[in-house]
Amino acid sequence: MNYSENILGTIGNTPLVKLNKVVAGVDALVLAKVETFNPGNSVKDRMAVKMIQDAEADGRLQPGGTIIEGTSGNTGMGLALAAIVKGYKLICVISDKQSKEKMDILRAVGAKVVVCPTDVEPTDPRSYYSVSKRLAKETPNSWYVNQYDNPSNAIAHYEQTGPEIWEQTQGKITHFVVGVGTGGTISGVAKYLKEKNPNIKIWGIDTYGSVFKKYHETGIFDENEIYSYITEGIGEDILPKNVDFSLIDGFTKVTDKDAAVYTRKIALEEGIFVGNSAGAAVKGLLQLKDHFKPEDVVVVLFHDSGSRYVGKMFNDDWMRERGFLEEEITKAEDVIKDHLDKSLIIARTEELVSHAIERMRKYKISQIPVVDVNGFVGSVDESLLFQSYINDKNSAERPLREIMGAPYPIVAMGTPIEEVSKLFTRENAAVLIDLGNGKHHIITKYDIIGSIK
């Protein structure tokens, strides 16, 4: 019989898979170390168990104790599996930037989840660094894991991930490319590989909004490099002790949009359903392609599973709202497809100016088409209402018919976007689109501006 004593025995020995289409144009063999095969669906299972074992060994973690960690989800999952098997309680402190799925998954495996704001300084008492430390002080028989500075994190990768990659490539690996968060993965793997062959090059993938690249290149911790970003799992606004900059040959930064787009490409072009930092890593690898020769063996590590991003990078609406979907906008109907579900707000000629103002406030809109029994006969917008107020302080009680401007032009769904744009003038703030069956929708200047990529 061949079985594991418990789920922890299934961690590691993940496959190495050749990438094909998504790295077209890279003149080297590119292999992905797919860490979603771990039971918690991420590479973090490895270090979570190692950190617990080391804390048990030196008494930091006592029987029946509470494990506390600030985690974006994956480390929490690994800790949760180990906590269940080994009989500990677990509190995960998580930032509100993280996907709801990640929080629900942690709760599913018994963790208590505490959510903290993302956009505060690490030293702010509300930050997840500060809250984790405070909870650790306040909770009896607890142990604060601190994956950022805990050396067992990198050691796990030195003992497992590095040797696996070396053996799977039969020592032929020439480059290792990986996203950097706590630094545990890159530093542990890099240390092992460079001990085996100091010529192996180690590339870290960073995000815009993170300090790593500049710090590596200049030794300067530049606070101007810090701003909020969307990419999950990589980049930092601190320098974790687990990032050993001396082992890293270089960093490349990948934009939020590219990371999101490439996360989808890996699934669609390779059939490998992995997370956002994998998208960043593949795009970063493409940015580095001039560093590789045809005989090189480049290994890229995919940290976690795509299932944690179904409400984000794998959701069309989420992508579209951020301008990440590379859709072609050529016709009038393309511009309004995001808000087709919303009904057209209108006003009637006999309604008062005050009614139109109230409606604009309620729906947060700047213009309204005006109708009577014959259809669209006029329009009101903010500047027209303002002008009528200047002319007559009692204008609020006047019917719209007395002050309204010309009706908005009406276009067909297939009208080219260039034609639609020409209809916007100083006097004309919107265009109506005929959806058929007597239905219409509105295209505003903002819709046109928003469609420019």
Binding segment toward ligand PLP, per CB under 6 A, in 21-29, 86-94, 173-181, 253-261: 173-181
Q: Does 183 bind ligand PLP (CB under 6 A)?
A: yes
Given 304, 333, 381, 447, the residue binding ligand PLP (CB under 6 A)? 304
CA triple 301-128-70, angle to 5 deg: 45
d(CA 11, CA 78): 10
Q: Does 179 bind ligand PLP (CB under 6 A)?
A: yes
Q: Does 189 bind ligand PLP (CB under 6 A)?
A: no
Asked if 81 and 120 touch (Cβ cutoff 8 Å), the reply is no
Binding segment toward ligand PLP, per CB under 6 A, in 50-58, 183-191, 263-271, 424-432: 183-191
Alpha carbons within 13 A on the beta-carbon side of 90: 29
Size of the site for ligand PLP (CB under 6 A): 17
Q: How far is the CB of 95 from ligand PLP (least distance, A)?
A: 11
Q: Does 184 bind ligand PLP (CB under 6 A)?
A: yes
Binding segment toward ligand PLP, per CB under 6 A, in 218-226, 232-240, 399-407, 424-432: 232-240
Q: Does 210 bind ligand PLP (CB under 6 A)?
A: no
Binding segment toward ligand PLP, per CB under 6 A, in 121-129, 180-188, 208-216, 393-401: 180-188
Alpha-helix residue ranges (DSSP H) falling in 4-158 = 44-57, 74-86, 100-108, 128-138, 151-156
Supply 133's token pair. 């430390």
Q: Does 303 bind ligand PLP (CB under 6 A)?
A: yes
CB atoms near residue 311 (< 10 Å): 13
Is 35 or 225 the residue whose CB approaches ligand PLP more closely?
35
Secondary structure class of 27 (helix, strand, coil): coil
Q: Which amino acid is at 220?
A: I
Supply 202's token pair. 């180690």
Q: Does 209 bind ligand PLP (CB under 6 A)?
A: no
Backbone angles phi, psi at 302, to 5 degrees: -100, 115
Burial of 134 (0-12, 13-18, 19+ CB in 10 A): middle
Asked if 230 and 322 touch (Cβ cutoff 8 Å), the reply is yes
**Of residues 249, 285, 302, the one with CA closest to residue 28:** 285
Asked if 266 and 242 touch (Cβ cutoff 8 Å), the reply is no
Expressed in angstroms, the distance from the first to the final Cα of the chain is: 58
User: Nearest residue by C-beta to ligand PLP?
Assistant: 233
Is 179 or 284 the residue whose CB approaches ligand PLP more closely?
179
Sheet containing 375-381: order of strands: 347-348, 367-372, 375-381
Range 127-166, binding ligand PLP (CB under 6 A): none
Is 48 or 371 the residue whose CB approaches ligand PLP more closely?
48
Is 244 or 434 the residue whose CB approaches ligand PLP more closely?
244
Q: Does 90 bind ligand PLP (CB under 6 A)?
A: no
Asked if 357 and 348 touch (Cβ cutoff 8 Å), the reply is no
Range 261-290, binding ligand PLP (CB under 6 A): 275, 277
Q: Does 306 bind ligand PLP (CB under 6 A)?
A: no
Is 98 or 395 the residue whose CB approaches ligand PLP more closely?
98
Given 41, 66, 132, 185, the residue binding ligand PLP (CB under 6 A)? 185
Burial of 101 (0-12, 13-18, 19+ CB in 10 A): middle
DSSP for 312-333 reads: TTT-HHHHHHTT-S-----BHH
Q: Does 180 bind ligand PLP (CB under 6 A)?
A: yes
Q: Does 259 bind ligand PLP (CB under 6 A)?
A: no
Range 39-78, binding ligand PLP (CB under 6 A): 72, 74
Q: How far is the CB of 301 from ligand PLP (least distance, A)?
A: 8
Is 254 or 353 the residue whose CB approaches ligand PLP more closely?
254
Catalytic residue annotation: 44
Residue with structure tokens 């079985």? 3
Which residues in this chain contact ligand PLP in the complex, by CB under 6 A?
72, 74, 179-186, 232-234, 275, 277, 303-304
